[in-house]
Structures are given as structure tokens and as C-alpha cells.
Chains A and B, each alone.
Chain A
Amino acid sequence: MNRISARQLFFFLACIAPVGKLVLMPAQLVHDVGNDLLFPAAINCLLQSGAVFCVLTLVRSQKSFYTLVAERAGRAAAKIILALLMLFLFYAAIMPILEQSLLVQNIFYDTLPSVLTFAPFFLFSLFLCAKPLSCRGRLWDLLGPLAIVAFVGVLAFSVGQADFGALLPAGISGVGSIFKGAARSLGWFCDSAILLVLLGKLEYRKGIALRGMLFYLLGGAAVLLFLAVFYGVFSDIALRQIFAFTKISKYFSGITVLGRIDFLFIYLLAFVMAFYCSLPLHACVECANLLFGDGKVKTPLYSAAVNAVMFSLTVLLNLSFLRTGEVILYKLFWIFLLFCLLLPVLSVFLRRTPHEKF
């Protein structure tokens, strides 16, 4: 349980990472670029897969990100960078968790409940974050196939309703808007930053970087397919469908007889999402472990602190979700640029032997 195997990592990159992009991001992209929503998503998938490749080239050293930086730039610099990364991961977790809280209120209840119904998530997150980060590998072994089943189920129920012609005319929103849309949706693509924290826990396998990138692209393709179906189903009213994956499957004709059987797949995806949402917080706790030392008492304390602060933020920002999203995703998008693209790409220079095979 101390290591995450390549297979487990690939499950994460191809099956679990895409799940976090199926809730609010589709409607946000429609807001920014209308029917061109595939382009910014594709740009981010490509950039992020490059960043994933860069990070995974460091797996061979079997050293943690902290050790790698410390070897190159000294312990003080390593501590500063790790502390910044820790703060970023916490920051990056805000939107997915706020999104999750709204999603929970929407799909698990018939009437709008109190935000307190989301509080148990933080208990779960507290428990999970107190476990070693490497236990995620085994979780991914199970969650990967579950995510595939759920994703295929949701798509199978909805693809018949999709009018893919709605994606035309392609590029109508203009190149500028597409890149702006890509920059604004960068906040949903933080996977390479999380991988930085996983360094040192990943088992090396020949070709892991290249395969990791390809698996990430595979996951990205799944997201693009979902976006296409989503826009095909809702077309001009897609902007209103803020919990995308919960909306597209309800038009399946079997539902009238059997009830909402699509909820089975929706709940499965929500189940996988619960793990995905807590991942940045878990990575944040792992950074704290590296910075301040770990232990049977310390790690649960970090976990409790991180989750308590996040819970307070959720309660505080629950009703100002749009404003929060605007600030985090639109105004401060450059923070994601720094940590999700620049830092992973620059981390390539931490490699000792530049010509080793990936």
C-alpha cells in the first residue's frame, strides 16, 4: 500500500480525472464560447497532458517532489515551493468542493436542503485525508472501473437524444474567445499539480510518462465526447444545465416505465466524485506531512485543520458561488496557469539525467 502502481495511476488519469469535469465546466464553457465548447476543453486537455508527461518523467528517480527540489535548489527553496504548492492545492479544491456541495443539494434531495447536509462530506474527507496518500492507488483500482460503467451508462442513456449538428458552426465564437474560455476553465484541470505531490509514491514502469500522457488524453477524449453529447442534447439551453451529467440522461424512454434508473449511474459518478474532490485536500495534507513532519497524531491533525477550514469556506461561500467562481476561475486564472502548467513543465529540469528514457 506504500506505492501507487502504474496501472492505478493510469486508472486515475483516464477514468477518475475526467469525472471532475462533468458538473459545472460544461455549462461554464457554453457561457464562454457557446457551441465551441469543445475547443477550450481540448486545448486544456492537450496542455494538461503535456504537463502530466513532464511530471511523470520524474517518476524514475523515485524521489518526492520535495527531495527533488531540495537536491537542486536547497531545502529552504524546497520548503517554500512546497508550502506554495500546499496553499495552491487548498485553493484549487475550493471550486470542486463548492460545486460538489451544490450538486449534492440538487441530486440527492427533492427540495433545497440546508448546506449542513453536505457537512458529512468533510467527515469523510477528514478520515480519508488522514490515511496515507498512497492508499489512493488501491481506491483507483476500484473507482476506475466504476467510473467507466457510470460514464458509459450516462452516455448510453443520452446519446440518442443528441443532435451533434448543434455544435456547428465550428469556431463561430472566434479564436480569442476560445483561448479566453480555455484560460477560464483551467481551474478544472489541476491534475498535474496533484501528480507533483504523488511523486515518490509512484512505481516506475518503463514508458510511464508517455503512457500516462496517452491515458490522460484518453480521459480528455471522454470529456470531449461528453461535452459533445451534452451540447447535442441541450443546444441553446445548455447554458442553464449547470449539473451537466445529472441532466442529460433523463430523456431515455425506459425511464418512464422503470423510474429514474439513470440515477444509478449518476450516483455512481457522484460516488467517484466524492473521492476526486477530496484529492486536492489529501495532497495538501501530504504537503503538510512533508513540511512539518508526519505521525499518527500529526497527520489527522492536519487533515482536521484543512477540512475544518474548507467546511467553513463552503458554508460561507455557498450562496455566493457565482461570485466565487468568477474570482477564482475568471480573474485569478493565472494562479492555475502557474501551478498547473508552468510548475509541472519546469519540473522537468529537476531530472538528473536529461537523456534517460521515459
Chain B
Amino acid sequence: MKNFKRTLGRIPLKLYLFLGAALLISFFYNDFGLVDIQKTAVILAVGVDRAEETFSVTAQIAVPKGNDRTTGGTSAVEIEGKGKTISDCIEQIYYKTGWVPKFVFCNLILLGESLVREDVFCALDFFLRNEYMPDSSLIAACEGSAKELLSSASAIDDAASLALEKLFSDAAKNAGTVMKTTLREFAVGYYGADESGYMPYVHALDQASGTDGSAQETAEGGKQNVAQTEKIYSAAQTALFSKGKMVALLSSEETFLYALLENNVSTGSFTAKQGEEARSFTVLREKGKVRLNIDGFPSVSLTLRVVLRTNDRASASPVGDITEGILSREELDKAERTLTDLFSSLWEKSVLGGCDLFRLNRTLYRSSPEKYREWNKTLLFALQPDFSVQAESVN
């Protein structure tokens, strides 16, 4: 018994020795099926397109620039994978590069025009399920193919995704020039009572390149020294979605108004046109309110209060006027009329498309589930919006 106890007493020491040895072995061997930085493809953005039954996923992968940090910036390469499902496409990317694609840094999902015409959740489902895909990543629809847009040479950054990230900055959001949304927010809208959502709609514009050609890496054939027109991008338009399908496209002005109603704008500007004359206004303060009244027949009232100053009169003004920027009643009326007109077209587009842009169904459900069950299918069409805008001048 004594010997047995002595043997047991020595176990901790042996256990520590064993653990130390195991630690050293695993340190030098290190393989739990894990993937380190050198075997990883850091995906900055993905573009998803659809052609009939096939998905095409383009991953923009960051390529480290090596020890020479003097040039700065990030270079990227676009790799495409095709398949029946998004997983198939990702697998293909893995086969092509030998790098394990990691989505943890993916900050943008770009949906091609072909995809947004049907329920985008056939593609977004994969990203929502993937535990390693941050649902804080931004989503956007684009004109044409997402692959082409991601592969285009940006005039303002090393990679298209990085240029787009600038477009979706907080500053742009606060200026009301873009209505950005994340995968989570879009999914909440899709699975919620309103079944609606929005996302920025990106299109690329040609910018004459100052260089004689840029080197572009492709999956197929390494570097190609092809002269490629550099692009600049715009995300001022907003795509509206209902039940996952794109149903309408808001213009940049409508997007701005929507941003005002959603209380997103801290300082933005818009232009009012009347005949030949144009006036630009800066919004210094705004308060938008959407109120759904469910007593009796449902109605919605949308109110917007803005404090404005003039930005540009498109004609020469005295210096005192420029300094003060005070608006006359006529000018304020003009601003109010412009905003009211914009609202009419915004409302019309959203109702016609069935997109519950102001989450009225959700509000209805939260305040009265019974009425929601009664009205949810017809609410948008039945509502007569009462929009009032009150513009004040800075003084």
C-alpha cells in the first residue's frame, strides 16, 4: 500500500514531464488541422453573380507586398470560383490557389445585377450560416457583374474593394450620400415582419488613366500588361428589396431624402431646381419621424424638420450674403417643394415594388399583432401617407 501511494505521489511530476514533452512536440509539429497566416487567403471582398443555375463567386484576396513597405498600400488579386452552390465556388477558389480562403476580414459582399433579380438569400444564406463570416460586413448591389466591378482597376485605391469601402464610410453615411447596410441588418429586414431591405447600388464610371497600363493579376495567367481604364465608383443610388428581390432603384436625391427620414444625416446637401434656376442647400440639422396610426383605418404620417443654409446660388452674391447664408421664405418653400416631390417618388417606388422601406409592417406587428395579421398583405397599398416637411433657415 505504501509503495502504491509513493507511486501515486510521483504521478504529478511525471504528468508535468509528459505535458512538457507533449507541448514541445505539438509546438514543433503543430497540426490540429489549423491554418496559419502563411497558408491563408485574406479575402477583403466577395462578389457574387448568377448565370442560370450557376453561381460565380469572385474573391478579392489581399496580397502582401513583402518587406518593402516604402510603396505602401495593399495589392489584391481576384480569383473566381463557379459552382451550383456558394460552397462549391469557395472550394474552387481553394483548389486554384492552395490558400485556404478566410472570410474573417471580408468587409464587403457585392451582389451582381444577375443575382439581385431573384431572392438574394440563395447566396447570402451561405454567408449568414458561416460562423467565420462576419455579419457586420457591408453588402451592396452593383450594375453589371460583381466580378467585373471587383476586378476593375480603381483610380483612387489599390483594390476596388478598398475604394468601395471609402464610399461606404461613416462620413459618406452622415452626408446622406449613401445608405449603407450590413449583412445582419439586411437579414433582420428579410426575416422580419417587413420582409424588406435596401442596399447601396454601385456602378463604375470610366476615368481616363494617366498611366500607360497597369499590371493586373488573374487566376488564369499571372500578370497581364494590359492597358485598363481606371474606374471610379458611385454608390449614391439605393436598391430596394422585397422578399430578397430587388424591386426598385432610388436615385441619389431620393436616397438623400430617405437618409433624412432615417435620421442618418448630420451634414448633407441637396439641390432644388426650378426652371432654369438651381439652389443648393446644406442641411445643418434634421429630424425625421415616421408615425403609424392604427386607430381605425391605418395611416402613416411622415414629418421632416430641417434647418438649412444656402450653399450655392449659381449666381454672384454680395459678400454679406455669402457669409450669412440666410434663406428667404421663397427659397425655403422651394426646398420644401423639392423634398415633398422627392418623397412622392420615393413612396411610389417603394409601394409599387412592395418594399416596406419605413418598416411599417414591423411597427404594426409590434403594436398590434392581431391587426398585423389582418393587414400585413395590403398595408402598404392601403396607406395614404401624410408627408409634411418644415424647412427653417439658419439665422
CB–CB under 8 A between A and B in the complex?
yes
Task: List chain A positions with a Cβ less than 8 A from chain B.
Answer: 106, 109-114, 116-117, 123, 165-166, 168-169, 172, 233-237, 240, 250-251, 253, 255, 296-297, 300-301
Out of A111, A116, A168, A301, which one reaches B132, CB within 8 Å?
A111
B187 close to A237 (CB less than 8 A): yes
Selected from B182, B191, B366, the residue in CB contact (under 8 A) with A168 is B366
Across the interface, A111 reaches (CB within 8 A) one of B34, B128, B366, namely B34
Residues of B within 8 Å of A297, CB to CB, are: 5, 8-9
Contact residues in A for B365 (Cβ distance below 8 Å): 169
B343-385 vs A, CB cutoff 8 Å, 1 = contact: the mask equals 0000000000000000000000111110000000000000000
Contact of B188 with A236 in the complex, beta carbons under 8 Å: yes
B337 CB within 8 Å of chain A: no
Find chain A residues with CB under 8 A from B285 CB.
Answer: none
Q: Kindly identify, within residues 169 to 195 of chain B, every residue whose CB is under 8 Å from any CB belonging to chain A.
A: 170, 182, 184, 187-188, 191-192
A19 to chain B, nearest CB (A): 21
In contact, A110 and B35 (Cβ under 8 angstroms): yes
Whether, in the assembled complex, B208 has its beta carbon less than 8 Å from a beta carbon of chain A, the answer is: no
CB distance from B179 to the nearest CB of A (A): 17
Q: Nearest CB to that of A251 among chain B residues? A: B136
List 9 tightest A-B contacts by C-beta distance, closest first. A168-B366, A236-B191, A236-B192, A297-B8, A113-B32, A235-B188, A114-B32, A237-B187, A169-B369
- Picked from A168, A233, A240, A301, the residue with its CB within 8 Å of the CB of B8 is A301
Given known pairs A123-B19, A172-B369, the reply for A237 and B102 (CB within 8 Å) is no
Contacts of A169 in B (CB 8 A): 365-369
Known: A237-B187, A237-B191. A250 touches B33 (CB 8 A): no
Answer yes or no: B104 CB below 8 A from chain A CBs.
Answer: yes
CB distance from A154 to the nearest CB of B (A): 15
Contact partners of A251 in chain B: CB under 8 A:
136, 182, 184
Chain A proximity of B143: nearest CB distance (Å)? 26
CB distance from A6 to the nearest CB of B (A): 34
Find the A residue at minimum CB distance from B4: A297
CA distance A143 to B9 in the complex (A): 31
Distance in Å: Cβ of A118 to nearest Cβ of chain B: 10
A169→B372 CA distance, assembly (Å):
11
Interface range, B side: 20 to 34
A255: chain B residues within 8 A (beta carbon): 136
A110 touches B366 (CB 8 A): no
Q: How far is the CA of A114 from the CA of B8 in the complex (A)?
A: 31
Question: Which B103-134 residues have C-beta < 8 A from chain A?
Answer: 104, 128-129, 131-132, 134
Contact of B128 among A110, A168, A240, A253 (CB under 8 A): A240
Q: Specify the chain B residue showing the minimal Cβ separation from A130.
A: B12
**Residue in A116, A251, A253 whose Cβ sees the most chain B Cβ within 10 Å:** A251
Tell me whether B164 is interfacial, beta carbon within 8 Å: no
Binding site for A on B (CB under 8 A): 5, 8-9, 11-12, 19, 32-35, 40, 100, 102, 104, 128-129, 131-132, 134, 136, 170, 182, 184, 187-188, 191-192, 365-369
- Which residue of B100, B170, B184 contacts A253 across the interface (Cβ within 8 Å)? B170
Please measure, in the bound complex, the distance between the C-alpha atom of A334 and the C-alpha atom of B188, giving whole angstroms. Answer: 35
With a CB–CB cut-off of 8 A, which chain A residues contact B100? 111
20 contacts between A and B (CB under 8 A): A110-B102, A111-B35, A111-B132, A112-B33, A114-B33, A117-B32, A165-B366, A166-B366, A169-B365, A169-B368, A233-B184, A234-B188, A236-B188, A236-B191, A236-B192, A237-B184, A237-B187, A250-B134, A250-B136, A255-B136
Q: Contacts A234-B188, A297-B8 given; 4 further ones with Cβ under 8 A?
A: A110-B132, A111-B35, A237-B184, A251-B136
Q: Among the listed A109, A233, A250, which residue makes an inter-chain contact with B34, where contact means beta carbons less than 8 Å apart?
A: A109
* A75 and B40 alpha carbons, distance in the complex (Å): 62
Give the distance to chain A from B39, nearest Cβ to Cβ, in Å: 10
- Nearest A residue to B169 by beta-carbon distance? A256
Asked if A111 contacts B188 (CB within 8 A), the reply is no
Nearest neighbor of A172 in chain B, beta-carbon distance: B369
Q: A237-B188, A251-B184 are in contact. Are A106 and B131 (CB under 8 A)?
A: yes
Across the interface, A116 reaches (CB within 8 A) one of B12, B32, B128, namely B32
A235-B192, A240-B128, A251-B182 are contacts. A168–B367 as well, Cβ < 8 Å? yes
Please state if B128 and A237 are interface contacts (CB–CB under 8 Å). yes
User: Contacts of B33 on A, CB cut-off 8 Å?
Assistant: 111-114
Is B104 within 8 A of A110, CB to CB? yes
CB proximity of B242 to chain A, nearest CB, Å: 16
Instruction: Give the CA-CA distance A172 to B372 in the complex, in Å.
Output: 13
Q: Which of A111, A112, A169 has the most CB of B within 10 A?
A: A111
For B366, what are the chain A residues with a Cβ–Cβ distance below 8 Å? 165-166, 168-169
Please measure, in the bound complex, the distance between the C-alpha atom of A287 and the C-alpha atom of B323, giving whole angstroms: 82
Contacts of B369 in A (CB 8 A): 169, 172
Give the residue among A116, A235, A253 with the most B Cβ atoms within 10 A.
A235
Shortest CB distance B138–A (Å): 10
Cα A168 to Cα B129 in complex, Å, equals: 26
Q: Looking at the assembled complex, report how far the CB atom of A30 sits from the nearest CB atom of chain B, in whole angstroms.
A: 12
| Bound Cα distance from A297 to B4, whole angstroms | 10
A345 to B240 CA separation, bound complex (whole angstroms):
57
- Residues in A neighbouring B132, C-beta threshold 8 A: 110-111
Residue with the greatest number of chain A CB neighbours at <10 A, chosen from B35, B136, B170, B368: B136
Q: Bound complex: CA of A237 vs CA of B129, how far in Å? A: 11
Query: Closest CB-CB distance, B10 to chain A, in whole Å?
Result: 11
Contacts of B5 in A (CB 8 A): 297
Q: Please give the distance in Å from A237's CB to the nearest CB on chain B.
A: 5
Which A residues touch B131, using CB under 8 A? Answer: 106
- How long is the Cα–Cα vector from A113 to B182 in the complex, in angstroms? 28
Contacts of A240 in B (CB 8 A): 128-129
How long is the Cα–Cα vector from A300 to B12 in the complex, in angstroms? Answer: 10
Contacts of B32 in A (CB 8 A): 113-114, 116-117
Smallest CB–CB gap between B31 and chain A, Å? 9
- Cα A72 to Cα B119 with chains together (Å): 68
Instruction: Point out which of B19, B34, B35, B102 has the most chain A C-beta atoms below 10 A from its C-beta.
Output: B34
